[in-house]
Amino acid sequence: MMKKEIGFIGLGIMGKPMSKNLLKAGYSLVVYDINTNAVEELVKAGALEAKSAKEVAQRTDIILTMLPNSPHVKEVVLGKDGVLEGAKHGCILVDMSSIAPKVSQELFNICKEKGVVLLDAPVSGGEPKAISATLSIMVGGPEDAFESVKEILHKMGTSVVLVGEIGSGNVTKLANQMIVALNIAAMSEALVLAAKAGVDPERVYQAIRGGLAGSTVLDAKAPMVMQRNFNPGFRIELHIKDLINALDTAHEIGVPVPLTAQILEIMQALKADGKAGNDHGGVIQFYEKLAHVEVDCRE
């Protein structure tokens, strides 16, 4: 038996596998993306095609968006042929993009005037966890709307938590991205130190991963960098976007974040060096260049 028809806008690295998992769970999906190849792939998997965000909203009561940044979300929601042009009174819009919390708050108020409830629900876990439906999903917004979509979100993630009012989801995501970036930087410094000292980085990793230095980030990224695999994953340029949002938010409320500022500048240096499209594990290349050593454990 098919479940309720829902809309999905944004079929990129994350949105595509997330939407496929909803199809696997038995939901009927109406999808839209400016990338027609991505739409065709989803249609082949069983989704229904819409020609605009407006049409998605006209055909569904629950709409999910997964877009790159704040301007894209604003355009899809507020722009010509956007969600609000077609949305029914009482529909729920779940923005799963990672954007500035203040933009989520602004959109919430505009949507409310149109009778639409907005939740901000960014995710963590990158493409691998999007594929395996094991994302962490951090949600901000009204509790009743959250309860209405919680079952849907659980088809894409194993951790689905309402953390507070609108914008809270994206504040939580910024905190997550700060911790992930600094974990990658710490791992990079450590593995470059090991390589330069003539100690096998693979053995160092195996020795420390079960102790206090062990982390999900270490287990996800150390094997990749030691195999020189910098395919995203999660691109450095997207992590830069998140850290800029983190700094902007921190500065607005008077919170000093000196380590976040430092790793942002490291990522900006890599972007200037032509590595913006690398996985964020590629941060290690900044340290390798300075130390004149490569952490390469390929046989």
Are the C-beta atoms of residues 239 and 181 closer than 8 Å to each other?
yes
- Orientation of helix 201-208 relative to helix 168-196, angle to 10°: 130
CA distance 226 to 49: 41
Whether 289 is a known active-site residue: answer no
Tokens 């890599």 label which residue?
270
Supply 223's token pair: 């094997």
The two structure tokens encoding residue 128: 């691998």
- Tokens coding 94: 């779940």
Choosing from 173, 221, 241, 275, the catalytic residue is 173
- Please give the helix or strand (H or E) that residue 264 lies within, else none: helix 258-272
Q: Is 59 exposed, middle or buried (0-12, 13-18, 19+ CB in 10 A)?
A: middle
Closest Cα to residue 222, out of 299, 291, 283, 175? 283
The single residue listed with the structure tokens 């098919």 is 2
Q: Are 176 and 138 in contact (CB under 8 A)?
A: yes
Evaluate whether 173 touches 242 at the Cβ level (below 8 Å).
Answer: yes
Dist CA 237 CA 59 (whole Å): 34
30: its two tokens? 């109406």
Q: Answer yes or no: are the C-beta atoms of 269 and 286 closer than 8 Å.
A: yes
Neighbours of 68 (CB within 10 A): 18
Amino acid symbol at 18: M
Q: Which residues are catalytic?
A: 173
